[in-house]
Structure formats: structure tokens, C-alpha cells
């Protein structure tokens, strides 16, 4: 009994020390990052996009060169996504149907944030089922490749849940990139197809 008590006291002391250490670290580093961060520079233009190396739905290596020569609606998601991703694809599909010949200058780029399940074949099956009216490229890769691409686009994602039915929380913006592969504007999630078509009409000439 005494031994158990001593052990309990030791565990409590260790836990208290650990909590104190955590609080101290959070206090120190949280305080620092709350102020001016010398590692971050702010400019007038958002640096969204950049080089990436991924695998397309046919299993071929693909880079940012795939964005050249076309307007590209780039977004991050996963094929098992229950709502946001199918909704985004449906909105893009409807919007593309409203911009006439300009749709020929547009492609959709869907980059998976779930490389564990989104194999190239899975991407291909998913996108062909969506029957997109414009060229649509599905991209996936190794976890590292996907992480690097998401970072370049400032896209956020995080696995949510365990087991086979896990979800992946992810940012919802569609990035419209111009034919030079540079960021033009965001098509925000929740825009109606009309609003999306208006933005596409303004951008694409
Ligand atoms: Ni999604």
C-alpha cells in the first residue's frame, strides 16, 4: 500500500512538472510567434502556387508545367470526401457550362490530400464518374510530394478519424491560375455556379 502511494505521488509530481514545462514552452514560444516574425515577409501579392512534382491519374509524373497554356482551377481534396469536393466539382462543372467557348481555355486540377487511398486509378475512376465538361487532371503522389504541393498553395489538410472510414479536413478554396501558371484569384467555396462563372468570365479572355 505504501509503495503504491509513493508511486502515485511520484506520478503526480512528474505530471505536474511536465505540465509546468509545457506551459512554460507554450508561454515562451507562443509569445514570440504572436509578435513580429522575422521569418515571414508580407507583400501585396499572395505567393500562391509554385513548383510541384506529383503523379497524374494515368500514373505519369506531372509538374507545374501542366498548368502552362491553360487557365487552371486548382483545388485540394480527396475522392472519399463526402461533401466539399463533390460540391466543388459540381459547381465548377456548372460554371464551365455557362462560359461558352472560354471553357476550352479552362482545365480543372484536383490534387489529392489523401495519397494513402487516392491512387492514380482511384483518381481516374472518381473523375471519370464526375463527367467533367472540361479537361480535368487528378494528381496524387507520395505523402511528401502532396505535402510540398499543398504548402506551395498554402492549402491546409489534416487527417480526421481512424480506421478505414477516416476523413481528411482540408481547405476549400479553388485557386484560379492563369496560363503562365500564376495565381489570378480565388474561387471561394460556397460561390454559386453563376458567381463562379462570372469570375471565370472576368478572368479568361
Ligand atoms: Ni473535400
Question: 35: pLDDT confidence band, cut at 50, 70 and 90?
Answer: very low
Mean of pLDDT values over 160-175: 95
CA of 92 to the centre of ligand 1 (A): 14
Spell out the residues 6+ positions from residue 117 whose beta carbon is closer than 8 angstroms to its own.
78, 79, 80
CA of 78 to the centre of ligand 1 (A): 5
Ranges 5-9, 72-76, 106-110, 152-156: which has the least confidence:
5-9
Distance CA 143, CA 162 (A): 17
CA of 73 to the centre of ligand 1 (A): 15
Ranges 18-27, 48-57, 80-89, 163-172: which has the least confidence:
18-27
CA of 170 to the centre of ligand 1 (A): 6
Say yes or no to pLDDT of 169 above 50.
yes
Looking at residue 18, what is its pLDDT? 46
Question: 148: pLDDT confidence band, cut at 50, 70 and 90?
Answer: very high
Distance CA 48, CA 176 (A): 10
Question: 4: pLDDT confidence band, cut at 50, 70 and 90?
Answer: low
CA of 110 to the centre of ligand 1 (A): 10
CA of 50 to the centre of ligand 1 (A): 22
Distance CA 204, CA 49 (A): 18
pLDDT in tens, 62-76: 999 999 999 999 999
From the number of C-beta atoms within 10 Å of its C-beta (0-12, 13-18, 19+), residue 174 rates as: buried
Say yes or no to pLDDT of 175 above 60.
yes
Looking at residue 63, what is its pLDDT? 98
Q: Over the chain, what is the mean pLDDT?
A: 86
Say yes or no to pLDDT of 28 above 70.
no
Question: 122: pLDDT confidence band, cut at 50, 70 and 90?
Answer: very high
CA of 165 to the centre of ligand 1 (A): 14
Residue the block writes with cell 487516392:
118
Distance CA 22, CA 45 (A): 37
CA of 85 to the centre of ligand 1 (A): 4
Looking at residue 36, what is its pLDDT? 46
Say yes or no to pLDDT of 176 above 60.
yes
Distance separating the N- and C-terminal Cα atoms of the chain = 82
Amino acid at each position: 500500500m505504501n509503495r503504491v502511494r509513493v508511486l502515485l505521488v511520484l506520478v503526480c509530481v512528474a505530471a505536474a512538472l511536465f505540465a509546468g514545462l509545457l506551459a512554460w514552452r507554450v508561454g515562451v514560444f507562443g509569445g514570440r510567434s504572436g509578435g513580429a516574425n522575422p521569418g515571414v515577409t508580407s507583400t501585396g501579392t499572395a505567393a500562391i502556387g509554385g513548383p510541384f512534382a506529383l503523379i497524374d491519374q494515368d500514373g505519369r509524373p506531372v509538374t507545374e508545367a501542366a498548368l502552362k497554356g491553360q487557365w487552371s482551377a486548382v483545388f485540394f481534396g480527396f475522392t472519399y470526401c463526402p461533401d466539399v469536393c463533390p460540391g466543388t466539382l459540381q459547381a465548377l462543372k456548372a460554371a464551365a457550362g455557362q462560359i461558352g467557348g472560354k471553357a476550352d481555355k479552362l482545365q480543372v486540377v484536383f490534387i489529392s490530400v489523401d495519397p494513402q487511398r487516392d491512387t492514380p486509378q482511384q483518381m481516374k475512376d472518381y473523375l471519370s464518374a464526375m463527367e467533367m465538361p472540361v479537361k480535368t487532371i487528378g494528381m496524387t503522389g507520395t505523402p511528401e510530394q502532396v505535402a510540398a504541393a499543398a504548402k506551395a498553395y498554402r492549402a491546409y489538410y489534416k487527417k480526421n478519424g481512424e480506421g478505414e472510414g477516416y476523413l481528411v479536413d482540408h481547405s476549400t478554396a479553388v485557386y484560379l491560375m492563369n496560363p503562365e501558371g500564376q495565381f489570378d484569384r480565388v474561387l471561394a467555396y460556397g460561390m454559386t455556379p453563376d458567381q463562379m462563372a462570372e469570375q471565370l468570365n472576368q478572368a479568361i479572355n
